[in-house]
Amino acid sequence: MTKYKSLSANTLREATKLPTLTNVRADIEKLKNKILNKELTPKAITNLVTKIGDKHSFEVTSDTSSKADSGKMMMNAFFDAEEDADDEISIEIQLIYNNKDKTLVLSKEGWKWLVDTIISSLTHEMIHQKQYRARGHIIGKQFTKFTSDAENVQGAQEYLGNTDETEAYGYTIASHLINNFSYDEATAFLRNPTKDLLKYSPDLFAYMVAFEMNVNHPVIKRLLKKTVYYLNKLKR
């Protein structure tokens, strides 16, 4: 079992510096009175968030899915290295609504999720942006040390095992932990990251499943190091 103590500052190498999104969060918070507890169409919510994207140079799109719970939202985010190399807007936030919802009302919990997830998703993609820019927009080394011959396992490991993704997901996991739990709860979880995985971190759960629940796998160890690094950066 990997011990949290072994993931402390002495073993952590520098990670990509986090962008400062204070102004973005402040502008999103200005939408609170227009969205919180208001009955709005998905288009109306998307249009409001799009204004933030226009101001801060990221694209906002929307889609529908039966996988989104009724009355709630999901979110995807993307970074396009080619568009970034051409000085085009290269980060996209995609808001996903239930395909049967004509309107929805975001509760206090839903509003917090929207703000936190936009900021977390933007930061994740901006980490990728910084990674690519630091390499002159060259694709980084791909993961090829698969532990299974199954195509679905190899696909998950190829994506999640990429060093760019372990760093960006290290941030995303740390952000989710610090937004939903105390620092002490987060660090206690990381000391034993196989316990209550879905409760604490769906993203870490996906990593653990992809790498056979092996906390000593090099990808998992690297991910946990990045998570602790960013957790300490985000500590309030």
Measure the CA–CA gap between 43 and 61, rounded to whole angstroms. Answer: 10
Q: Which residues have CB under 8 Å from 206's CB, separation 6+?
A: 156, 160
Report whether 173 contacts 120 (CB < 8 A). no
Q: What pLDDT digit, counting tens, does each position of 79-93 carry?
A: 999 999 999 999 999
Q: Tell me the average pLDDT across 53-68.
A: 97
The position carrying tokens 């396992």 is 153
pTM check: above 0.85: yes
Q: Tell me the average pLDDT across 213-223.
A: 96
**How many other C-beta atoms are found inside a 10 Å radius of the C-beta of residue 229?**
23
For residue 159, pLDDT over 50 is answered with yes
For residue 198, pLDDT over 90 is answered with no
